[in-house]
Structure 1
Amino acid sequence: MSAAKAPKAQRGRHAKGAMLSYGSRTDVGLVRDHNEDSLTVTPPLFAVADGMGGHAAGEVASEVAIQSLVAHAPHTADGDDLARAVVEANRAVIRAAREGLGRQGMGTTMTAAVLDGPRMVIAQVGDSRAYLLHQDRLQAITRDHSLMADLIESGQITPEQAKTHPQRSVITRALGSDPNTLPDIYEMTVEDGDRLLLCSDGLSGMVDDDLLESTLIRVGNPQKCADTLVDEALAAGGHDNITAIVVDVAAGAEKRVAKERRRGRIGAVLVVLALIAVLAGAVVGGNAYLNHVAFLTVQNDQVVICRGIPGEFMGFQTWKVERNTGLSVDDLALPPNTASRLTEEGIRTDSVEDAEELLSTWQAQAEQAQGSSSGAAVSDTSDQASTASSDADASGTSSNANEASGASTSATDNSSTEGGDAS
């Protein structure tokens, strides 16, 4: 069934070497008519890109990004070098749209991993994910750059509500939209027997983590495992393009020892030069990062949007106020836990634009809550007015029995009329 619906499906070869084995598959799914996902399995580099922008745009963006990544990616697990390769991929997508390849507005996610013996580094932009199966326990390595992830983190919605939220497909960071986009970098040590999964949201959005974990444990061959994961997403509905890369890690102790010996022969001058380069890169990268990220907090009882991260570094303040919103915490009617976090530590976002969007969401929710409260208050006031009118008419009864009867009838009519208006 999937083969008939997915003529563009591809299967990666199960490759074995001294260090690792892997398998991969991408499938158009059961709803879309074209595949906007792209991937690369070129050890030590593995990457998934999920394009967006519609036909003749999304697939162009993801393919351009992958080609650029392959051309610039490092051959060792170096976080700075991998970040630079992703930055180059972002520029390539922007340049392609400007030159008429694809179209303006196209973009793509990217999640890339470089495995180098016991070291692994991952770069991520968007909501394509990386998972690590370690000692039969599945761990999510990356954090989605999406509106749903921000709302869940700020306590606005639950993960269950996010699955059916009308804005669940909104991504807050992607390649191709901003020349200053930077990836999140994750560096870690892996062990023999660990298994890496890279996937687009066509898999993670259709198959829950428990089933991902059990499949990664149960299916030993990485190619068969990638096929099985895609089949499970198809069985669940296949609402989006689906891509999965499964990599088995063997840390390679012998190679690691040799590598350490080579490092031991590096001269002191090279070490000093490398340290200077790292420090310079850290300063440049740090400034770029601080100018990109943002957070919301409270100053002088008013909510403010700040660029940077809260706190200080070596005596220097690492943030600045971008905008005073003029709103108080009470104006936003935030839940107690969210209001406490906002006041005490601030709520971080990936950019000032994301902070503005989160603030808009809070304002919309506060206005909705205020509208409901005002409606209830109007109803209570009308009911009280109706009761008072009835009591007043009853207390003013005339000594004449006929007049009393007429007054009572009049009071009843007025009460019915006002009650109807109130309802």
Structure 2
Amino acid sequence: MNIKVGASSDVGRVRDANQDAYLVDAPLYVIADGMGGHAAGDVAAVTAVKVISDEAGRVSAQEPDSLAALLKDANAAIWERAQSERAFQGMGTTCTLVYASDTAGYIAHVGDSRAYRLRGGGLEQLTEDHTLVGRMVKEGRIDAGEARTHPQRNVITRALGIDSSVEVDLREIDLEEGDRLMLCSDGLSSMLDESAIEKGLAEAPDPQAAADRLVDLANDAGGEDNITVVVLDVAGGDGPAPAGAVVPARSDQEPRVDTQPDAKPGTQSISAVSDDGRSERRQRAIIRRRRLVVSLVVLVVLLGGGYAAARWALDNSFYIGASDSGAISIYRGIPEEIGGLTLAEVERETSLALEDLPESRREDVIQGMKVESLADADTTVSNLQDIARAYRRETAPTKGNP
């Protein structure tokens, strides 16, 4: 059996850096979506795929648990680095791995990146989202359409690196000639519904065209997050297996060596995010999408999770909000109240008040404007100050008017 591969990744239209990484090293195919701020998210993702690449020789179809062990080793490496280096505290990453050989197929999975299989014109999601809304869908409380727009859709309940141990989902899959498998970060699945993903996969003539097309569609839909897609075509015969490529998310990190003698277009493009492109997107990004791990109370009450994940969530979550008096501040924590408990505290006060802003902006602040980091919070406050100044000019009385 021969596996043909295509891969593509893009920073998207909102983010100023790409924190995704992927690995192509037959029979292993991996995608990781980092989180934890500008410096840490991509470090976590690249660490995960690097550990998996280094230990790939240990795995076999006869010992499926060896695949879960890869993710657990990656978890340990990320956790240990986060504990030893202050700059990386709180970092984590999703990780979805497909093992595809002549005799077997397996998936090892943590987080909300996804694996799909297109067979006979029908698309099937092969992984379960480790998110709050994923659990709600599983329990029948909301449907998949509602999950895509739910205000808590970014609340992750399981990831590599946020605790000293991690539970890994492991499942066996059957592979047939003509199957098309896809791994993707949530920058794709959050932008496109399954019918659009199915169409993009089915209509492309080859895996590279499919990967490129899906990334383009996600960007056309808004590109609110980094988008990474790896597509595998299961074909007959004994064609050459693709060589390994560990591909980091950011072009300003230490470059990785692509071990493929003839690199795929997707491998070339993933590491080519120019400084000019990042600057342009930074100017456009006022409020960036924030990935959260669920709070302590949600974990304990709903999911039975641990303290470390909850502490990570609260210590590494920020938003701009308003007090009862209307004073606007930067808060550490989350704006939602769980069970009547407030899970935030003032990190930094600002000179702004709700009355300084036009009404169209006040509701955003009242609801809580989630941001990626304290630096992003400062940027958002600066933008709000610009809006406030413009609002004062617009509402100030002109000469000759009372």
Give the TM interval when normalised to the shorter protein. 0.5 to 0.7
Per-residue deviation, residues 22-42 of structure 1 (Å, max 9, x unmatched): 000111000000001000111
Contact 1:94 1:176 in 2 (8 A): yes
| TM-score between both structures, scaled by the size of structure 1 | 0.56
* 1:230 aligned onto 2:215: yes
Aligned to 2:224: 239
Does the C-alpha gap of structure 1 residues 362 and 98 become closer, same or farther in structure 2, counting only changes over 3 Å? Answer: closer
- Decide which moves more: 245-254 or 67-76: 245-254
* 1:76 aligned onto 2:54: no
Per-residue deviation, residues 192-243 of structure 1 (Å, max 9, x unmatched): 1111100000001111111111121111211111000100000000000000
Using the TM superposition, give the Cα deviation of residue 111 of structure 1 relative to its aligned residue in structure 2, in angstroms. Answer: 0.2
Does the C-alpha gap of structure 1 residues 102 and 132 become closer, same or farther in structure 2, counting only changes over 3 Å? Answer: farther
5+ residue gaps, structure 1: 1-17, 255-322, 326-347, 365-423
Contact 1:197 1:247 in 2 (8 A): yes
SS at match of 1:166: coil
Contact 1:117 1:250 in 2 (8 A): no
Contact 1:207 1:236 in 2 (8 A): yes
Match of 2:14 among 31, 39, 47: 31
Contact 1:130 1:199 in 2 (8 A): yes
* 1:197 aligned onto 2:197: no
Using the TM superposition, give the Cα deviation of residue 159 of structure 1 relative to its aligned residue in structure 2, in angstroms. Answer: 2.7
Counterpart residue identity of residue 183, structure 1: V
Does the C-alpha gap of structure 1 residues 350 and 130 become closer, same or farther in structure 2, counting only changes over 3 Å? Answer: farther
Using the TM superposition, give the Cα deviation of residue 120 of structure 1 relative to its aligned residue in structure 2, in angstroms. Answer: 0.6
2:179 & 2:125 partners in 1: Cα distance? 13
RMSD of equivalent CA atoms: 3.0
Contact 2:59 2:66 in 1 (8 A): no
* 1:59 aligned onto 2:42: yes
Using the TM superposition, give the Cα deviation of residue 166 of structure 1 relative to its aligned residue in structure 2, in angstroms. Answer: 2.0
* 1:186 aligned onto 2:203: no
SS at match of 1:56: coil
SS at match of 2:130: coil
Using the TM superposition, give the Cα deviation of residue 134 of structure 1 relative to its aligned residue in structure 2, in angstroms. Answer: 1.4
SS at match of 1:163: helix
* 1:148 aligned onto 2:133: yes
Contact 2:113 2:183 in 1 (8 A): yes
1:26 & 1:143 partners in 2: Cα distance? 22
Aligned to 2:204: 219
SS at match of 2:72: helix
Aligned residues: 256
Using the TM superposition, give the Cα deviation of residue 106 of structure 1 relative to its aligned residue in structure 2, in angstroms. Answer: 0.5
Using the TM superposition, give the Cα deviation of residue 95 of structure 1 relative to its aligned residue in structure 2, in angstroms. Answer: 1.5
Contact 2:187 2:228 in 1 (8 A): yes
Using the TM superposition, give the Cα deviation of residue 152 of structure 1 relative to its aligned residue in structure 2, in angstroms. Answer: 2.1
Counterpart residue identity of residue 48, structure 1: I
Counterpart residue identity of residue 76, structure 1: S
Using the TM superposition, give the Cα deviation of residue 75 of structure 1 relative to its aligned residue in structure 2, in angstroms. Answer: 4.9
2:39 & 2:70 partners in 1: Cα distance? 24
Contact 2:96 2:108 in 1 (8 A): yes
Using the TM superposition, give the Cα deviation of residue 162 of structure 1 relative to its aligned residue in structure 2, in angstroms. Answer: 2.2
Does the C-alpha gap of structure 1 residues 62 and 24 become closer, same or farther in structure 2, counting only changes over 3 Å? Answer: same
1:118 & 1:84 partners in 2: Cα distance? 20
- Decide which moves more: 205-214 or 76-85: 76-85
5+ residue gaps, structure 2: 240-299, 314-335, 341-402
1:71 & 1:216 partners in 2: Cα distance? 31
SS at match of 2:195: helix
Contact 1:190 1:251 in 2 (8 A): no
Counterpart residue identity of residue 15, structure 2: R
Contact 1:49 1:109 in 2 (8 A): yes
SS at match of 2:50: helix
Aligned to 2:93: 108
Per-residue deviation, residues 115-153 of structure 1 (Å, max 9, x unmatched): 111411110000000001112211100000000111222
Using the TM superposition, give the Cα deviation of residue 352 of structure 1 relative to its aligned residue in structure 2, in angstroms. Answer: 6.3
Contact 2:76 2:165 in 1 (8 A): no
* 1:46 aligned onto 2:29: yes
> After the TM superposition, which residues 296-311 of structure 1 pair with which residues of structure 2 at under 5 Å, given as runs?
none
2:304 & 2:78 partners in 1: Cα distance? 21
Contact 1:76 1:116 in 2 (8 A): no
Match of 1:165 among 150, 173, 182: 150
Query: Percent same amino acid at aligned positions?
Result: 44
Using the TM superposition, give the Cα deviation of residue 110 of structure 1 relative to its aligned residue in structure 2, in angstroms. Answer: 0.1
- Decide which moves more: 49-58 or 92-101: 92-101
Structure 1 segments, 4+ long, off by >6 Å, are 352-355
Contact 1:96 1:102 in 2 (8 A): no
Aligned to 1:95: 80
Higher CA-based Rg: 1
Counterpart residue identity of residue 188, structure 2: L
Counterpart residue identity of residue 28, structure 2: L
Does the C-alpha gap of structure 1 residues 96 and 362 become closer, same or farther in structure 2, counting only changes over 3 Å? Answer: closer
Contact 2:59 2:67 in 1 (8 A): no
Contact 1:60 1:101 in 2 (8 A): no
Using the TM superposition, give the Cα deviation of residue 252 of structure 1 relative to its aligned residue in structure 2, in angstroms. Answer: 5.1
Contact 1:45 1:75 in 2 (8 A): no
1:247 & 1:44 partners in 2: Cα distance? 11
Contact 2:105 2:174 in 1 (8 A): yes
Using the TM superposition, give the Cα deviation of residue 164 of structure 1 relative to its aligned residue in structure 2, in angstroms. Answer: 2.4
